[in-house]
Amino acid sequence: MVIFSVYVVNKAGGLIYQYDNYVPRAEVEKTFSHPLDLVLKHHDEKVVVSFGQRDGIRVGHAVLSINGVDVVGKNTAEGKDILEYLKDPSNYPVSIRFGRARLSSNEKLMLASMFHSLFAIGSQLSPEVGSSGIEMLETDVFKLHCFQTLTGIKFIVLADPRQSGIDALLRKIYEIYSDFALKNPFYSLEMPIRCELFDQNLKNALEVAEKAGNFGAGS
Amino acid sequence: MTVHNLYIFDRNGNCLYYNEWNRKKQAGISKDEEYKLMYGMLFSIRSFVSKMSPLDMKEGFLSFQTSRYRLHYYETPSGLKFVMNTDLSVSNARETLQHIYSNLYVELIVKNPVCSSTPSLDSELFSSRLDAFIRALPYYSPRAA
């Protein structure tokens, strides 16, 4: 029962705070010989698997490291293009680590803005009068909860689908926001939140919620 | 307990079928625009979910809820998308949507040599069976006006 991450989005849809509490990175490292039976391609400045799922390596996984050394974007740590490197038989046997790519800050910004728009469309397409935007979005591996305040700030929490008590957690995060960000005289509204006390209190609140969620769901 | 409406989209985004039972509020845009907006929203949600997800997903996006309604989503491997809006009391309509696909769509549309050629679902039988099925659902009850 975990809470994966917390995002705070301002009125305009810009991400002002992001915290990853638990990032489960299932990574697989395997040694390969020439020729590689996976098809790799460039995607968004990364090298991802496009075909050839096997042994825990899925389509969409990115190349994270080669021979133990982390890759830098499309190139190895030495600056050679990864696809070129892997075409050369003299570089084999090679040990490559695959896994879900971590989101960069830019991608998180884009996703937060995307959600901001989807939230509004969810309200527009409502078949009932007076609907809010998307408050909870469910998939098979996570649940996204969103609480929009009267001033338009959205608090978004990604958690395990079985985690309970997220509504109370969202209200608590709002309380922490108003205590440690809004009351901070050096904080400007709608700007990224860089307040230490906000971070500390948020982490504590997440711990408390995770423990309480465990008791609730376990019984 | 009620079903508001149902959309069926093909893999290219064309709305094949739409029907409403208990819709209280129209979207304020024409039906064509509404279909496009709905499809666009679902496409974006699927892409959002696949990037945002901390773990690899099998089924992907299942449903979302707002303060007044819940949208259930089911996509077949062939790219056919079934979207149903219900009220909040319905927690899981995935089996309903799967039933609509396998017992109504496949039986009455795919296996019908006349219907399969045209993109939109003109089958009277399909519409009436689907309507009867929805009205027979345990969680469907027409609200008193």
pLDDT confidence of residue B119? 63
- pLDDT reported for residue A141: 92
The percentage of residues in chain A with a pLDDT greater than 70, rounded to a whole number, is 97
Looking at the predicted structure, is the pLDDT value of residue B140 above 90? no
Domain boundaries defined on chain A: 3-23+104-211, 27-99
Contact A131, A93 (CB under 8 A): no
Q: Which of A23, A24, A118 sits opposite B41 (nearest CB)?
A: A118
The per-residue pLDDT for A218 is 44
* A63-79 per-position pLDDT tens digit: 888 888 888 888 888 88
For B10-50, what is each residue's pLDDT tens digit? 989 999 999 998 888 888 899 999 999 999 999 999 999 99
pLDDT > 80? residue B115: no
In CATH, which of 3.30.450.70, 1.10.10.10, 3.40.50.150, 3.10.450.50 is domain B3-136?
Answer: 3.30.450.70
Q: Is B67 on the interface with A (CB under 8 A)?
A: yes
End-to-end Cα spacing for chain A: 13
pLDDT tens readout for residues B42-88: 999 999 999 999 888 888 899 999 999 999 999 999 999 999 999 99
Q: Where does B13-109 have alpha helices with state H?
A: 31-52, 94-99
Q: Does B50 touch chain A (CB under 8 A)?
A: yes
Q: Which residue has the higher pLDDT, B43 or A59?
A: B43
Question: Residue ranges per domain, chain B?
Answer: 3-136
Q: Is the confidence at residue B144, as pLDDT, over 50? A: no
Chain A contact for B85 (CB, 8 A cutoff): yes
More confident residue, A83 or B118: A83
Name the residue facing B4 among A100, A127, A130 (closest C-beta). A127
Q: How far is A205 from chain B (nearest CA, A)?
A: 21
| pLDDT greater than 70 at residue A215 | no
CB contact under 8 A, A139 and B60: yes
Tell me, what's the pLDDT at A46?
A: 85
Does A174 or A62 have the greater pLDDT score?
Answer: A174
Sequence-separated (6 or more) residues with CB below 8 Å from residue B11: B78, B79, B80, B81
Average pLDDT, chain A: 89
Asked if the model's pLDDT at residue A219 lies above 60, the reply is no
Burial class (CB in 10 A: 0-12, 13-18, 19+), A166: buried
Tell me what the mean pLDDT of segment B110-135 comes to.
Answer: 82
> What pLDDT does B91 receive?
87
Which tokens belong to A48?
Answer: 């991802």
- Range 135-174 of A in CB contact (< 8 A) with B: 135-142, 144, 158
Residues in A closer than 8 angstroms to B59, CB to CB, are 139-140
Residue numbers in A near B85 (CB within 8 A): 127
- Give A98's contacts (C-beta < 8 A, 6+ positions apart): A27, A28, A29, A30, A49, A57, A61, A62, A63, A64
Which residue in this structure is represented by tokens 């969680």? Answer: B139
- ipTM, two decimals: 0.88
What pLDDT was estimated at residue A87? 83
> What residue in B sits closest to A4 (Cα-Cα)?
B54
How confident is residue A26, by pLDDT bands cut at 50, 70 and 90? Answer: confident
Q: Does B45 touch chain A (CB under 8 A)?
A: yes
Report the distance separating Cα A217 and Cα A195, nearest Å: 33
- pLDDT category at B145 given cuts 50, 70, 90 is very low
pLDDT digits (tens, 9 = 90+) for A45-57: 888 888 888 878 8
Tell me which of 2.102.10.10, 3.40.1350.10, 3.30.450.70, 3.40.640.10 is the CATH number of domain A3-23+104-211: 3.30.450.70
Q: Which residue has the higher pLDDT, A219 or B76?
A: B76
Which residues in B lie closer than 8 A to residue A131 (C-beta atoms)? 66-69
- What pLDDT was estimated at residue A41? 87
Three-point CA angle B19, B24, B29, nearest 5°: 70
CA distance B116 to chain A (A): 30
Check pLDDT > 50 for residue A3. Answer: yes
Category of A131 on φ-ψ map: left (φ > 0), alpha (ψ -120 to 50) or beta: beta
Q: What pLDDT digit, counting tens, does each position of A159-171 carry?
A: 999 998 999 999 9
pLDDT at residue A113, rounded to an integer: 95
For domain A27-99, give the CATH number.
2.30.42.40
Distance from CA of B75 to the nearest CA of A (A): 13
Q: Which of residues 20-59 of A touch B (CB under 8 A)?
A: 22-24, 26, 58
Query: HSE of A174 in the Cβ direction (CA atoms, 13 Å)?
Result: 17
Tell me which chain A residues have a C-beta less than 8 angstroms from the C-beta of B52.
Answer: 103, 111, 142, 144, 158
